[in-house]
Chain A
Amino acid sequence: MAKRILLYAVLAVGAFVSVFPYLLVVLTAFKTQAQLSGTAPWLPGLPPTADNLAKMLAGDFPRYLLNTAGMTALLTAGQLVFTTFAAYAFARLRFRGRDVLFWLFVATMMVPSAVTMIPLFLIMRELELINTWYGLLAPYVLGTPYGIFLMRQFFKTLPAGLEEAARIDGAGPLTVLVRVMLPLCRPALGTLAIITVISSWNSFLWPLIITSSDDTKVITVAIATLKQGIGVDYNLMMAGSLIALVPMVAVFVFFQKHIVRSVVLSGLK
């Protein structure tokens, strides 16, 4: 029994530590300037005010939200399709140069991202894609080495026997992938989708470099701009942060059960 209590105590403390900074964001977003300086960070300002949120939503913020959503949707779709094909080939098909190619992919994961930004920018300038949706999406829409690495590890855990039956019946690699493997992949695809949604939604450095017009500006860049404004307005910044955060939390809560699911066994039983 004592063990049980200890378990729940550990979980409760861990949950509190996880959520505490978010709590501060929420509390601050609903405080007036006066309440911000008058109350402790972890206490609510009474009465709460929705002025900060209203102010953010009245400006250009909804537009940036829409841009971010569009970018996230396209990058996620691209990642899911292209990554799945490549990862399956690397995990299960045999072709000349497979291992060399795979390690090439993994090697590119090791390239410091802050550095590829310079040449990437130069390339986009040559192609005249700066400040366009093409420039914003191109480097990531064909999938990422990280995604391929993740999916390949997953494909490798699936028993080979599952494909054999289909192969003996004469199914080609495409049929095997779509009919046999993909249904088993749902948990892994869910994981990959969530990872991509969240990293696209939060991506900052590349959008900052490649876009400057309102047509392509995303929400992280907008928040950073708030920070650079004269006299940092904490409440407004936290209101903006809250608006940026809510869709991600919603997405996560919705998909949560897909991520963590028995992967190997549920495919067999």
Chain B
Amino acid sequence: MTSHTAERSLGTDVQVAKGRRRRGSGWHAYLFVVPSLFGVVAFLLLPMVIVLVLSLFDWQLLSDPTFVGLDNYRRLAGDGQTWHSLGVTIAYVLLCIPLQTVLALSLAMLLNQRVKGVRFYRSLFVVPWMATPIVLALIWGWIFDPRDGAINSALALVGVTGPDWLSDPTWALPAVALVSVWQYTGYNMLFFLAGLQGIPKELHDAAETDGATPAQRFWRVTLPLLNPTMFFVSVTNLIGSFQVFDTVYAMTDGGPSHTTEVINFRIFQTAFKEFDFGYAATLSTLLFLIIFLVTMAQVRFFGKRTTYDLS
């Protein structure tokens, strides 16, 4: 990496102190990064390497690990159940992300104007995010209960017989996705709100003076300037959604008939129920690769459209 590209990202005023910084900041920078770097290497990278190595072994916990080379990967190719799990995961992501993002941005825009009790609403919308996963699963399991659950009790009032949500293969996955949307919409709203408040009001005024309609102002001013926020929100949300586990584990246990068995859940099953650690490590590697590719695609997508520096 040349100093030229790095300087460009800091803007025009960089030339002023060019010489001093080229020499000065390196040494401090390493000192700043070292503690976190140690944490990441010891507690994330090392485990990751262990997982990679483990994926080349057959290890059924009680037996000694035996080196099997790429056998686990060959097995993966013909493993219909895993590909099914992958399909479930993608369906889950497609159910959650668009709804969550659109809702969060809409709420942020509503609450970015003069509204009575704006703080009160902001707080209330973020409350779901604070729920402990265990509690969350208990309470939503009860809300979705076919007989005395809140949803079907309410539906009965208007003469509709609700489905047996969590035991119905059609409804179980949407129900689980709904809980995620419920939990994270307000949280994402906070980031959009912070992003919206970072947009200079003058830009909107100028656009309005030039005769831009509200829709034009949204697509031409708001959205492009929200790009860094959008980048952060979509990257972290997608990574999180691909790794969903707690909600599924506590609400449906992967059922009914595997319709909510997301890939992370399948990895957990393979490791802790079947004690097939080597193969579980192989599945983990697959999940990691998928998340990696999706994230890279996002980086390229946002990198092309932004006026900000994301590198």
- By a beta-carbon cutoff of 8 Å, the part of chain A in contact with chain B is 7-8, 10-11, 14-15, 17-22, 24-25, 40-42, 82-83, 85-86, 88-90, 92-96, 98-99, 101, 104-116, 118-120, 122-123, 138-143, 145-146, 148-150, 153, 156-157, 159-161, 164, 167-168, 172-174, 187, 191, 198, 201-202, 204-205, 220, 223-224, 227, 237-238, 241, 244-245, 248-249, 252-253, 256-257, 259-265
Which residues of B have CB within 8 Å of A86?
A: 32-33, 35-37
Main secondary structure of the interface of B (DSSP, over half): helix
Is B123 part of the binding interface, using a Cβ–Cβ cutoff of 8 Å?
A: yes
- Do residues B132 and A204 form an inter-chain contact, with CB atoms below 8 A? yes
Contacts of A111 in B (CB 8 A): 44, 47-48, 51, 284, 288
Select B123's contact among A101, A110, A120, A256, beta carbons within 8 Å. A256
Which residues from chain B contact A107 at a C-beta distance below 8 Å? Answer: 292
- Most A CB contacts (10 A, CB to CB) among B28, B29, B128 go to B29
Asked if A94 and B47 sit within 8 Å, CB to CB, the answer is no
Which one of B110, B143, B228, B232 lies within 8 Å of A21 (CB-CB)?
B143
Interchain CA distance A269-B39 in the complex, whole Å: 37
**A18 contacts across to B, CB distance below 8 A:** 124-125, 127-128, 182, 186
Task: From A142, A168, A241, A252, give the contact of B35 (CB < 8 A).
Answer: A142
Chain B residues contacting A257 (CB-CB under 8 Å) are 119
A22–B183 Cα gap in the complex (Å)? 12
Contacts A21-B140, A89-B32, A98-B29 given; does A260 touch B134 at CB 8 Å: no
A259 to B309, CA, bound (A): 24
- Least CB distance from A218 to B in Å reads 10
Report A-chain residues with C-beta under 8 Å of the C-beta of B232.
149-150, 153
Cβ contact within 8 Å between B139 and A25: yes
Contact A167 to B21, CB < 8 A, known contacts A18-B124, A85-B35, A115-B51: yes
| B132 in contact with A245 (CB, 8 Å) | yes
Distance A120 CA – B135 CA, assembled complex (angstroms): 26
Q: How far is B121's CA from A260's CA once the two chains are assembled, in angstroms?
A: 12
One of B28, B48, B115 near A93 (C-beta < 8 A) = B28
- Is B43 an interface residue when CB atoms closer than 8 A count as contact? yes
Name the A residues within 8 Å of B17 (CB-CB): 164, 167-168
Tell whether, in the assembled complex, residue B268 and residue A168 are in contact, meaning their CB atoms are under 8 Å apart.
Answer: no
B6 touches A263 (CB 8 A): no
Q: Chain A: which residue is nearest B295 at the CB level?
A: A110
Establish whether residues B36 and A116, one from each chain, have CB atoms under 8 Å apart when the complex forms: no
Closest to A223 in B: B134
- Known A-B contacts A119-B50, A223-B134; A112 and B243 likewise in contact (beta carbons under 8 Å): yes
State the interface size on chain B (CB cutoff 8 A).
101
Chain A residues in 8 Å Cβ range of B32:
85-86, 88-89, 93, 173
Is B253 an interface residue when CB atoms closer than 8 A count as contact? no
A19, A164, A173, A264: the one contacting B24 at CB < 8 Å is: A173
A-B pairs with the 7 shortest C-beta distances? Answer: A142-B39, A119-B47, A119-B50, A89-B32, A86-B36, A108-B44, A93-B29
* Closest Cβ–Cβ distance, residue A150 to chain B (whole Å): 7
Closest chain B residue to A157 by CB distance? B198
Q: How far is the CA of A175 from the CA of B20 in the complex (A)?
A: 15
B223 adjacent to chain A (CB < 8 Å): no
What's the Cα separation between A173 and B194 when bound, in Å?
A: 27
Least CB distance from A233 to B in Å reads 12
Are B39's CB and A143's CB within 8 A? yes
Further pairs besides A42-B150, A142-B39, A260-B122: 14, Cβ < 8 Å: A25-B135, A93-B28, A95-B30, A110-B295, A111-B48, A112-B288, A120-B47, A139-B43, A140-B39, A156-B228, A164-B17, A198-B129, A238-B138, A262-B198
B179-227 interface (Cβ within 8 A of A): 182, 186, 190, 193-194, 197-198, 200
| CB-based nearest A residue for B108 | A260
Tell me the minimal C-beta distance from B202 to chain A in angstroms.
Answer: 10
User: What A residues does B60 contact at CB under 8 A?
Assistant: none
- State how many angstroms separate the Cβ of A145 from the closest Cβ of chain B: 6
A-facing residues in B1-52 (Cβ within 8 Å): 1, 3, 6-7, 10-11, 13-14, 16-17, 20-22, 24-26, 28-30, 32-33, 35-40, 42-48, 50-51
How far is it, in angstroms, between the C-alpha of A160 and the C-alpha of B277 when the chains are bound? 49
Q: Which residue of B lies closest to A20 (CB)?
A: B150
Cβ-defined contact, A85 with B36, below 8 A: yes
**Residue among A104, A108, A201, A227 facing the most chain B CB atoms (10 A cut-off):** A108
Complex contacts, A253 vs chain B, CB 8 Å: 123
What is the CA–CA distance of A99 and B1 in the complex, to the nearest angstrom?
8
- B240-262 near A? 1/0 per residue, CB < 8 Å: 00010110000000000000000
Q: From B54, B133, B193, name the one whose CB has the most chain A CB atoms within 10 angstroms.
A: B133
- Determine how close the nearest CB of chain B comes to the CB of A60; give it in whole angstroms: 17
Interchain CB contact under 8 A, A41 and B150: yes
If the complex has contacts A21-B140, A25-B139, A198-B129, are A94 and B3 also in contact, measured as CB distance less than 8 A?
yes
B24 touches A160 (CB 8 A): no
CB proximity to A under 8 Å, residues B86-135 = 107, 110-111, 115-116, 119, 121-135
> Given A17-B182, A149-B232, are A94 and B197 neighbors across the interface (CB < 8 Å)?
no
Partner of A172, one of B28, B132, B148, B309: B28
